[in-house]
Amino acid sequence: MSSNTPSPSIARSLLFFGEDTYGGFDPNHGKWVEENFNLLRVLNLGNLNVYSIPTWIKRLIHLRYLRVQSDALKVIPASIGNLKNLETLDLRGTFLNSLPIGIWKLRNLRNLYMSGPVSLPNQSDTEIKALSNLQVLSTVSLDAQTVRPIVEAKLPNVRKLGIWFASNESNSEAGHALASLQHLHRLRKLKLINCSEILSLPNSFPETIRKITLRQVCLEDGDCMKVLGNLVNLEILKLQSCLLSSQLYIFGDSFPALIFLKLENLRIEEWKQGSRAMQKLRHLVIDR
């Protein structure tokens, strides 16, 4: 290395490209990163073939952003909680089922992205910590481990939430889980996936919601569209492969703020709508 070449220790971002064709992350790479990039703020491991987040990452205490896309990733170590300054953890592209307890130690975490569905860690009363800075949480299982921190105000500032119905939950448990969303008073965007066995939506969602995407959700109960129509700030609604009656009736002052509506892969044969409903609608997309 030339004496005029800047030392890698001054680098704040490190991005890996391509795939590791040798069956795993080379330990020598980790040693090299740890010794030369100890002040990293951004680390993107991309598609490198890792089975667990390397242990040396826990020593990158200045890290703000961490992305891992490997579909071989099976485990997130509890030591992830050592990254006290981490703001974004992007695990999209992985097939994780759960997160470690250490996730609750990431007090500065703002964005948590996962392909889903992933279960939040279940903890005792004395261990649960609030992720008060978390704004994006997607995609998590709609189960008791998710409901508890929502109800107990451990996720008070979530603005964007993606949730997936856990097939082992009963309809009543799933309904209770959906009802818990009313505790998220700052929620702006909601995506609900794979809830075809839920018989009805809860009576109320947070009125702060501006965008809702429902994919494979049962909306056959006539009150479901009424619940959605009563959201006074809802601007964007996407219904994708949902179970919906062939007759769609929308009356009264339903959907007063709706601007964009997308209906995808639905079996609607008849649509009746009152003159006062959806008065602000500008974009209608029907994809059959």
Contacts 24+ apart (CB under 8 A), 244-247: 244/219, 244/220, 244/268, 245/219, 245/220, 246/270, 247/271, 247/272
Answer yes or no: is pLDDT of 156 > 80: yes
Q: What is the pLDDT of residue 109?
A: 97
Please indicate whether residue 138 or residue 30 has the higher confidence score (pLDDT): 138
Answer yes or no: is pLDDT of 143 > 70: yes
**Residue of 63, 71, 178 lying closest to 114 (CA atoms):** 71
With 0-12 / 13-18 / 19 or more C-beta atoms within 10 angstroms meaning exposed / middle / buried, residue 111 is middle
**Mean pLDDT, rounded, for 256-280:** 93
What are the residue ranges of CATH 3.80.10.10 in the chain?
A: 80-287
Please indicate whether residue 170 or residue 31 has the higher confidence score (pLDDT): 31
Residues 80-287, CATH architecture: Alpha-Beta Horseshoe (3.80)
Answer yes or no: is pLDDT of 113 > 60: yes
Q: What is the pLDDT of residue 204?
A: 65
**Mean pLDDT, rounded, for 130-135:** 93
Q: What is the pLDDT of residue 22?
A: 44
Percent of the chain with pLDDT over 70: 84
Answer yes or no: is pLDDT of 1 > 60: no
**Mean pLDDT, rounded, for 16-37:** 66
Average pLDDT of the chain to the nearest whole number: 84
What are the Cα distances from residue 247, in Å, to 46, 100, 103, 217, 287? 46, 45, 45, 17, 17
Please indicate whether residue 201 or residue 11 has the higher confidence score (pLDDT): 11
Q: What is the pLDDT of residue 126?
A: 43
Count how many residues are written for the chain.
Answer: 288
Answer yes or no: is pLDDT of 272 > 60: yes
Q: What is the pLDDT of residue 166?
A: 66
pLDDT in tens, 201-242: 666 688 899 999 999 888 877 678 888 999 999 999 999 998
**Residue of 251, 205, 246, 247 lying closest to 228 (CA atoms):** 205
Whole-structure pTM value: 0.88
**Mean pLDDT, rounded, for 54-61:** 87
Q: What is the pLDDT of residue 25?
A: 59
- DSSP class per residue in 223-271: HHHHHHHT-TT--EEEEES-B--SEEEE-TT-STT--EEEEES----EE
